Amino acid sequence: MRAPFRRYITAAVIIAGVSVSTPAAAGVYTFTDASGVIHFTNRPADPRYAGMVRVGYLPDPVRPTTVPLADPNRYSPLVKKTARELQMDEALLRAVIAVESGYDAHAVSSRGAVGLMQLMPETARRYGVTNLYDPAQNIQGGARYLRDLIGRFNNDLSLALAAYNAGEDAIVQHGNRIPPYRETLMYVPKVLDTYRRYKPTVR
């Protein structure tokens, strides 16, 4: 049995047990370890569960990879300006913004990523972003980070996108390959598909 399938079956069994033994209002605590294995419990005795978001269901393991295209003209001047200044593909920046935030400048993830390109605070500081909610600063910081990742991983766009989602260390720890994290495995094809669909519309 392949490891991802085994992990899903294990998670499903745990969830089923929780749903039988706890009230309907009870939730499940979860965390993902460094190997990408997802753990669930309704009694978080292990300190690694501390601070995790309590959820009442197991997310569907199969999600669509196609993202509805947001208005390509939204924030167009800022995206064009940044792409020109950094010599980056404008369609790629649009794709990352569409997948990361759906062009919502006030988007905040459960992990604390903020803004159009969903910058983490430490990444924002690294690139001199002082206001994560400012579209111009957020796009500039995220684009510079993505450009650096593309350079670091020898122009391998898939690896650069995986690093943007999971972090640079995760790529290195997995032998310069896309780490086997469910979120990252879905994220990379989503961005690439959106990139291909934006490409013909951007001039």
- Distance in angstroms (rounded) separating the CA atoms of residues 167 and 142: 13
Catalytic choice (100, 122, 168, 183): 100
Both tokens of residue 133? Answer: 């909610």
Is 122 labeled as catalytic in the residue annotation? Answer: no
Asked if 94 and 198 touch (Cβ cutoff 8 Å), the reply is yes
Please, what's the b/e burial string for 83-93 (b: 16 or more CB within 10 A of its CB; e: otherwise)?
beeeebbbbbb
Please, what's the b/e burial string for 32-47 (b: 16 or more CB within 10 A of its CB; e: otherwise)?
eeeebbbbbbbebeee
Q: Which residues are catalytic?
A: 100
